[in-house]
A and B are shown apart, each in its own frame.
Chain A
């Protein structure tokens, strides 16, 4: 095709005509030397050559022309279509048949050879593309290699990638291509876009082994070209998809490598911080406490100063614990040590820990005896309950009671902590869980608003929810709910069953 493409159709027929006439001329000159049978051969040779070089149409025309020229110029009576010997009708028929078959076969063969050549070129091109793509280490390089390859075929292409939410951000402001691209990715099949006045385009999904990665939009002057090379473009799209996926996993591997390194750094910084800050605080608490409890003669004022130092150092240590926990939780790398256990343990342990800080707040605990086992990290949940109870004590008037209640609510089990204070500022019930958020903008109550933020982070890490509310009768209520799940079976003691019988 490539060698003949400059010969137009009309020219091909003209050449066929000329060849036939030339053959007739040469044969006329050799008329006395050659038998009629050999002259027929000359004509057939011409038909064959025409078929070989000029294609099927000119060859068919040359066949008919040859039969006619042979009849008129060579078969007696010459210069007339009349035939004296009926035998020549057989010659004509055979000549016609051989010519047509030759034309058909030759052009078929030639076409096949051309197709094979084209396929070989395609395969070579694909091989080179694959080799280029195997070496790319970024999407820009991928696009450049693809552009080089497709422009060799007379196409232009653009790549658009799906993000994690399944959107195509690079097409966001082009509604029609976006719609077609989403259609292509959804169906997993190419979609044609024939845009009048512009290039015709084919939208091919990039199907990687794991998932569809995006689309390749190929443009060409003519939709017909796109149609013939559709299979080839499909293969190219697969190669591109594989490359995109490979690049994606290279990114993932690098990201996790970086994450591991930075995680190690972060946790070593945190534990160093924890140790270096807690050691002097421990000494401070211990020494101030020694002074406060000292048996030596000291004025009451001095003693209470020492106690004040001790309490402040303790508060600072508590704050430090909250801050470090928050840092760990924010890094998202807290491994929950979940076990099936009872709220009872956590609530009682929290109250035991907080007893010295609760002052004169009476605590009412409502724990139904038949509470189910819930799966949670006891240490973290204890921090939540401690924070909630401490907040309740902090933000309610001295002497008012604090209520802790455990309950089952559908497929969740929860704990609520309520006080009789002023409650949360209305309209800020969600905001109180924000980092460093406190109910009142400026308050004399100590402690940054870290407690609720940590509580929320811990509860959410358990797949639970935490909400703040104001009670109609006054006071704040914070309620956490954890999923119940399926607790492990408890086999009753055999003797217990026996003893129930009379």
Chain B
């Protein structure tokens, strides 16, 4: 049985709420709407949504604040809608606990795909498998082996750790800061260039065309996303 997904949409613009609602209902979700941050917090408390969609440019409160509050008691995925081109807001929201973002304007196809990916992640978290495969790569987390086209690939400990973190958060946008913290520890905050070098190594070793990667994607100004 697949339980119906309850989605809470916090967005002040009624026209945007309308088509987002239509799209989500087309995906079989039940949609609750809130037109302000305060209203959103109340709705979140009563509806206990399985997915929260928040516009970062709310008139009454900072969307980041809302996400932080929500995260303090819920593990449900959070998707940001951001009209601002300023990457800093997205990074802040992601570091506050958001899982993914969509930059306005976005198509309904993109929206549906993101929502589906977040739902999948939520359900998949329950049945963790030690074996992951993407493209021509097979990763066995229990035996710590990486195969590409059936051939073993040698990864350094840091490369392996980075791969592990990315695969563990598949589909999710990881900010530079959170990746640095997970792989190098909290003291490497300012050495973002290490992350870029090692990401490049992973692409060289695991992508079919490292210059046009399909799994290790750059979210410019924000971080990276692993797409299985």
Contact = CB atoms under 8 A, between A and B. Distances in A.
A366 B212 CA distance: 10
Interface residues of B, number: 45
A337 B221 contact: yes
B150 interface: no
B19 A290 contact: yes
A287 interface: yes
Max chain A CB contacts within 10 Å: which of B19, B26, B203? B19
Interface in A242-295: 271, 274-275, 278-287, 289-290, 293, 295
B220 A490 contact: no
A281 B19 CA distance: 13
B196 interface: yes
Given A379-B221, A490-B194, A287 B18 contact: yes
Contact of B193 (A280, A313, A352, A488): A488
A220 interface: no
A382 B220 contact: yes
A162 to B, nearest CB: 42
B15 interface: yes
Interface string B44-72: 00000000000001000000000000000
Nearest to A375: B193
Contacts of A340: 192-193, 196
B85 interface: yes
Interface stretch (B33-41, B101-109, B135-143): B101-109
A89 to B, nearest CB: 103
Max chain B CB contacts within 10 Å: which of A283, A340, A351, A495? A283
Interface string A114-150: 0000000000000000000000000000000000000
Max chain B CB contacts within 10 Å: which of A286, A310, A321, A488? A286
B193 A349 contact: no
B129 to A, nearest CB: 28
B220 A373 contact: no
15 contacts: A282-B16, A282-B105, A295-B26, A310-B107, A317-B104, A340-B193, A341-B192, A341-B196, A345-B199, A345-B218, A348-B217, A369-B204, A493-B158, A495-B157, A496-B156
B196 A290 contact: no
Nearest to A349: B218
Interface in A362-416: 363, 365-367, 369, 373, 378-379, 382
Given A286-B16, A286-B19, A373-B193, A365 B104 contact: no
Contact of A487 (B20, B83, B193, B220): B193
Max chain A CB contacts within 10 Å: which of B105, B191, B209, B221? B105
B75 interface: no
Contact of B108 (A290, A342, A344, A382): A290
A184 interface: no
A286 B193 contact: no
B22 interface: yes
A347 interface: yes
Contact of A289 (B107, B192, B200): B107
A206 B157 CA distance: 68
A163 interface: no
A495 B105 contact: no
Interface residues on A, range: 35 or more
A189 interface: no
Nearest to A369: B204
Contacts of A348: 211-213, 217-218
Contacts of B20: 286
A382 B85 CA distance: 13
Contact of A321 (B19, B85, B106): B85
Interface in B114-164: 154, 156-158
B96 to A, nearest CB: 20
B74 to A, nearest CB: 26
Interface string A194-205: 000000000000
Contacts of A367: 210-211
Nearest to B221: A379
B19 A495 contact: no
A339 interface: yes
Contacts of B104: 278-279, 281-282, 317
A185 B43 CA distance: 74
Nearest to B107: A289
Nearest to A324: B85
B219 interface: yes
A346 interface: yes
B220 A345 contact: yes
Given A280-B15, A290-B23, A342 B196 contact: yes
Contacts of B158: 493
A360 to B, nearest CB: 16
Contacts of A493: 156-158
A287 B220 contact: no
